[in-house]
Amino acid sequence: MVMQKAGPRPNEFTYSILTFLISCSNQWKQIHGNMIINGVNPFSLVPGNSLVHTYTKLYLPDFALAVLTQMQYEDIISWNTSMLVFHVSGRYLSSLVKLRLIMQTGLSPDKFTLPLVTTICRIS
């Protein structure tokens, strides 16, 4: 963490970028821990979505769901990512239940929602 030694403290956007770059499962532990040490709330929108996506990418759906259930606010990215988590973990019906919940909350599906639902329906 050269940036920390240079002075500026990492913020939620720094960690969002770092989680995107993670390529192996032992790095996420360091970044997640460092996030907490530096006072960044891992359950706020930007870092939460990033962590959920990272855990899903690393095939750690239980970790992803743990973050999702503790997030303080969810946007369409959170909802899409949660559908992806259920898909990756083989819980296809739960993915479709999430789609129904998206519609009930008044959020509008975006350009990523329909292809994701199509993939889920094709596989399930």
> What pLDDT is stored for residue 16 in this prediction?
83
Distance from C-alpha of 54 to C-alpha of 62, rounded to nearest angstrom: 12
State the DSSP code for 42.
Answer: T
The reported pTM is 0.78
> What pLDDT is stored for residue 20 in this prediction?
77
Run of H or E residues at 45: helix 45-57
Print the SS3 string covering 53-111: HHHHHCCCHHHHHHHHHHCCCCCHHHHHHHHHHHHHCCCHHHHHHHHHHHHHHCCCCCC
Tens digits of pLDDT across the chain (124 residues): 565 667 788 888 888 888 777 766 678 778 888 888 989 998 999 999 988 988 888 888 899 999 999 998 888 999 899 899 999 889 989 988 988 888 898 888 899 998 999 988 887 6
What angle, rounded to 10 degrees, do the helices at 45-57 and 76-88 form? 20
Q: Which backbone phi and psi does 12 adopt, to 5 degrees? A: -60, -30
